[in-house]
Amino acid sequence: MVTEVIRDDLTHEEESLESPDWHKLALQETEDRLATGQENSVEWKKAKIELLKRFK
């Protein structure tokens, strides 16, 4: 899968990548929504299946 190749590539370089401020803010907002029950998480395996269905 293309997404797996991209993810694997990014995880090998994560120490050299600096997250931009807007991304840190977006992650914090998501964590806040998760903590207050306004957002739900989905296991990667389930999310991948749903994404594949959507983009076939």
pLDDT digits (tens, 9 = 90+) for 22-51: 999 999 999 999 999 999 999 999 999 999
Range of the domain at 30: 20-56
Q: How many helices and strands in the chain, by DSSP H and E?
A: 3, 0
Within-domain flag for 36? yes
Within-domain flag for 9? no
The model's confidence at residue 3, banded by pLDDT at 50, 70 and 90, is: confident
Give the integer Cα–Cα distance in Å for 29 and 8: 25
State pTM to two decimals. Answer: 0.52
Within-domain flag for 15? no
